[in-house]
Amino acid sequence: MKLRFLPTSLVTVVAIALAANSIPLTLKSVQAQSPSGSESEAFSQQGAPGEQRVLYVNPNPAKAIANGVKTQVTPFTTITAALQQATPGTVIELAPGQYTNESFPLTLKPGVSLRGNESQQGQGVTIVGGGNYNSQTFARQNVTIVAANNSEIVGITISNPNTRGTGIWVESTQPVIRNNTFTNNHREGVFVTGTGAPRIENNRFINNGGNGISVARQATGQIQGNLFENTGFGIAVGGSSAPVISNNQIRSNRAGIIATQDSRPSISGNTIENNQQYGLIAIANAQPSLGQNTMRANGQGDSMLANAPQTVQASNPSNSQPTNSSAMSSSNNSKPMFSCVESGAGYATVAQRGNATIPQPMITWTRTDLGPELTPERRCQIVTQRINEVVDRNGGTLDNLVFTVGPVQRQLVVCLVDNMSSSCSSNNMLFTLSRENARNPEEVVRRLVTFSVTGSGRAVGESSGRRVPQVRAPLSEFAQRLQPEESLWFVDN
C-alpha cells in the first residue's frame, strides 16, 4: 500500500482555513457584476454577531492603489452592485470619488445605510445622476436615491442635474438623512411625500434650482440644523403635511419658507435672513405655528402671511363687510384672490392666484393723507373687498381692468373699470380723493400701486362739465406676475 501526500499548496490552504475558524473577523468574497459587464471581487466585512455587515465601494480602486491610497481589498466598483448584495443592517461604505456609472435611481433596501464622508458633509464623495422613478403619489419622477424605511444616507454629496431632477425621494418611509450636501439638483434636494416622516439633520442645501426640501401630502418628520443657501425656496410645504422645522440657517435664497394648501408646519428657532423676497410666506389655508425665529434683512419683508382661514363669495353684492381673507371660494381658486395683509410699516392689498402663486402686493397703504376718517388698515380692508367684487363681476380676469380716476356724485374718486373707455360709477368706485389729493391724482395713484401708471396730473379730459385728470393704470402688467411657481410643481393650483 502506497501513501499519497497532499500537495504543499493545498495543505497550506487547509491550514489557513482551519485557523480562520478561531478568529471572530470573517472575510467573505462575493462576485458582483459591474455595469460594464465585467465581474469584480467584492469585499465585505462582518464582525461578531450583532455587528453590522459592511460592503465597500470604490468607483476607481486601481487608481486609488496606484496613488498609494489604502483601500479595502477588492471592493465593489458601483453602489448598484453593492445594493444587490445588501441585507437589512448592511452598511455600504463609499470611498472618495464620483459615482456616475450607476443604474439610477439607487433604491435602498429597508435598514440599509449608505455612508460616505460624514465629518465633512460628503466632501469628496459625490453621486451625480438620476433615473425614472414611478411614485405612488406623483407618477413618474427623476430621482437619484429612493430612501427606504429605516435606511440611512450619511456623508454624501448628491447632485441630480437632470430636468426635474430630485436628489432623494422619501415616500411613506422613515429614513435618516444626515450630514450630506445637496447641490446642483435641478429641482429639489429632498422631496418628502405620502406619510413620510424622515429625520433630516445637519445637511447643506446649496445652489439647487427649485427648493432645498419639499414636503407634500400627509408627510411629517424633523427638519433641523440644516443650512439652506442660494437655492430657490429654502423649504416648501404643501398638502396637509406637518413637519417640524427647527434650528435651521436659511439665508440668501429666493425665499426662506413657504407654506401653502392645508399644511401645518411647526417653525421655531430658525434664522431666516437676507432672502430676496420674504423670510416666510403663508398662503391658501396654511397655518404655520411660529416660535422664536430670527427673521431679518429679507428683501420684500420678513413675512407675507396671506393665508385665508375662511373664504367669502365676492359675487354677493350684499356682503359689504371688509375681510382679510380670500374673496374667492376654494372651488374656484384659479381666479385671482385679494387680501389685506400687514406689510412693512403699513398694509397692502395683495393678489394671488390659486395655491402655487406667490402673493404680489398690488396697492400699498402707508399714506395717512387719504382721509382722516379711515386708518390705512381700514381703508385697505374696504378697498380690497371692493376690488374683489369688481374682479368677480368681471369673470375673475384682470387683463381688461384699469385703475382710473373720475367723478362720482361731484367728488373725484379712484375706480376700477372694465375697459379703457368706461367711466367711474358707484359700482366700481374704490375710494374718494380728498380735495388736496384731487389736485394731482396721478401722483396719488402712482404712489399706491406697484405697477405702471400713465396719464397727467393736469386736466386733459372733459366729463360732466368738469375737466378731469386722465389717469390709467392697466392691470394687464400686474396680472403677468400671478403665475404658478415652478418650484411649487407638487401643489394643486
Question: 295 forms bridges with which residues in the sheet?
Answer: 272
Query: What tens digit of pLDDT does each residue of 425-471 get?
Result: 999 999 988 888 888 888 888 888 877 666 443 332 323 445 556 78
Residue 294: predicted pLDDT: 98
Domain boundaries, the chain: 310-393+484-493, 402-474
pLDDT digits (tens, 9 = 90+) for 229-249: 999 999 999 999 999 999 999
C-alpha dihedral over 158, 244, 348, 485, to 10 degrees?
30
Alpha-carbon torsion (447, 451, 452, 455), positive or negative: negative
Which residue ranges in the chain fall short of pLDDT 70?
Answer: 1-51, 63-73, 308-333, 367-373, 452-469
Q: Quote the CA–CA distance of 58 and 95 in Å, as a whole number.
A: 5
Cell of 99: 459615482
Q: What is the DSSP letter of 394?
A: T
- Predicted confidence at residue 460, as pLDDT, reads 28
Task: Kindly calculate the radius of gyration of the chain based on its CA atoms and give it in whole angstroms.
Answer: 31
The pTM of this model reads 0.82
Q: Look at residue 438 in the predicted model and tell me its pLDDT.
A: 84
- What is the structure's pLDDT at 204? 99
